[in-house]
Amino acid sequence: MARAFAARFWPWAFLLAWFFWFAGNGLNARFTADDLMNLTIHRTLPFGRMALGNLAWWSSMYRPMGGVFYVAMYRLFGFSPLPFRVACFALLLGNLALLYRVCLQLTGSREAALLAALLDGYHASFVTLYYSTGTVYELLSFCFYLAAFQYYLGVRQTGARLKPRQWALLVALYIAALDSKEMAVTLPLALGCYELIWHPPERGFRGLARWLGREALGMWIAALVTVPYVIGKLTGPGNFLTNPAYRPDITAIRYLRTFRLYLGLIFYHDRFFRNSYAILFLAALLALAVWRRSRPLMFAWCFVLFSVLPFIFLPHYSGSFIYLPMLGWTLYAASALVMLRQAAGNRIPAAVLFLAVALGLAPLHVRASKKTMEEFSSAQLPTREMIAELKRVQPALPRGAHVFFVDDPFPPRNYWLLFLVQGFYDDLTIDVQRAKDGASLADRHYDAVLRWTDGRLLRVAPGGP
């Protein structure tokens, strides 16, 4: 019995150690520029209004589920990054368990599901997921998306159809995913793709009509939720199209070029995937799925193509964008590896294959992590140092105080220092002026005048409460 217990749970102990070995330092990460901006944006709205905004998923309110996370954590734990990071790590581990469950349902193989969890358990291109709370939108959206999909699979794989209460729960999970981030809009395609592959329509027009009215019902219901969401996000006040970074260029060339870029991130090879290589690679993956008549491979292939639609046409890129599409890549790779082991007559034990994959991935992760961490760290602000110095030098200020920085370590002409000071004192009415931006001490009376020198903050004029 003890042996069976160990055989069942050692892979999870390994996965947990694997995750913290590569990503554990993210628990000590500081607030990023995105964190300062996001926390300030969400705090400008009354908490109740923002929470209720999750019910009006069609509004142009900015990711209200993430807003609830930011403000709730801030109110509970204050202006400290550690609780935020702990919560994000809990989401990362919970999402890994969800991915395992979905892959288990799609493949029927615990071995394939564990391999998928290993492949997704760490990726150096996801550095912002491990070190920036600003990616909590991706984490929450992934969580609710996969929870909805897993719930749907659980019902359908019993041979039953969803009842009204089950539809309501599915829709609620999907709306929560949409309220977290826009990448969730592909869930209708995931539901339709699953039904088409596992429960295809009978031949003929009548068979197709029956399929569209029964098996495809989940796709239609999810699509009905999606349509007002997309309209609201693209036409409401402050919609995404007002931001040049979110104006899409919807062309086949843009899709191919961006897809090729993300292939480089996934496989740690920036220059290998030219347009022709990317097309040949995808064609080979499709050919294998068709040849083996493998439903998991076919679903995975389709998923990697349509799950990128929310961001593939945008002019800016981020490794965190492929967090959800990695479900398709890991499902395909894990299923193919198990298929290969079985084709070899099962001469290689499953545990040996699992460990061999880990040994093969480890040096790749180590090498890629150095590069991604250097790039990430070079763009970070000295938020931890400034917070520590404010605690030491100016622990309190009156509401609506005016603060002047003779010098500071933040770049000029931006709001990061203002956001940090307002977050530290929990006061959105505080005014921050900087000599770097051309402000002068003669402009007004200041409650505190501060100077940053050699990594230390000095109070150079009387101030404080």
Identify whether 307 is part of a domain: no
**330/370 same-domain check:** yes
98 and 219 share one domain: yes
Give tens-digit pLDDT for 429-458. 999 999 999 999 988 899 999 999 999 999
The pLDDT score that the predictor gives to residue 248 is 85
Instruction: Please say if the pLDDT value at position 385 is more than 60.
Output: yes
Query: Could you give the CA distance from residue 30 to residue 72 in angstroms, rounded to a whole number?
Result: 18
Residues 78 and 159 occupy one common structural domain:
yes
Is residue 298 one of the residues assigned to a domain?
A: no
Ordered DSSP codes for 238-266:
T-GGGSGGG-----HHHHHHHHHHHHHHH
Tokens of 287: 């050919």
Q: What's the CA gap between 64 and 181, in Å, rounded?
A: 9
Structure tokens at 84: 């935020």
pTM of the model: 0.95
Q: Are 452 and 346 found together in one domain?
A: no
DSSP 185: G
Residue 7 falls inside a structural domain: no
pLDDT > 50? residue 464: no
Which of the listed residues 378, 408, 425 is the one where a domain comes to its end? 378
Task: Please count the structural domains in the chain.
Answer: 2
Burial of 252 (0-12, 13-18, 19+ CB in 10 A): exposed
Q: pLDDT class for 390, splitting at 50, 70, 90?
A: very high
- Give per-residue pLDDT as tens, 419-436: 999 999 999 999 999 999
In this prediction, residues 348-372 reach a mean pLDDT of: 95
* Residue 460 confidence class, pLDDT cut points 50, 70, 90: confident
Shared-domain flag, residues 326 and 453 = no
Q: Does residue 275 lie in a domain region?
A: no
For range 66-90, the mean pLDDT: 97
DSSP states along 427-446: -TT-EEEEGGGT--GGGS--
Decide: 147 and 33 in contact? Cβ < 8 Å: no
User: Domain boundary residue among 360, 378, 396?
Assistant: 378
Please indicate, yes or no, whether residues 155 and 54 belong to a single structural domain of this protein: yes
Going by pLDDT thresholds of 50, 70 and 90, the confidence category of residue 191 is: very high
For residues 349 and 204, state if they share a domain.
yes
Asked whether residue 251 is assigned to any structural domain, the reply reads no
Whether residue 215 is found in the same domain as residue 123: yes
Q: Which residue from 110, 101, 182, 197 is spatially nearest to 149, judged by alpha carbons?
A: 101
Residues 109 and 73 in one domain: yes
Say if 294 falls within a structural domain: no
The dihedral over CA atoms of 78, 133, 115, 154, expressed in degrees to the nearest 10, equals 70
**Residue 396: which domain range?**
383-461
Residue 334 and residue 444 in one domain: no
- Both 104 and 144 in one domain: the answer is yes
pLDDT tens-digit map of 79-114: 999 999 999 999 999 999 999 999 999 999 999 999
Domain limit, last residue, from 378, 401, 421:
378
Strand order in the sheet with 402-407: 431-434, 402-407, 448-453, 456-461
The verdict on 373 and 390 lying in the same domain is no
Residue among 167, 131, 112, 165 nearest 295 (CA): 112
Of 381, 385, 379, 409, nearest in space to 127 by CA: 379
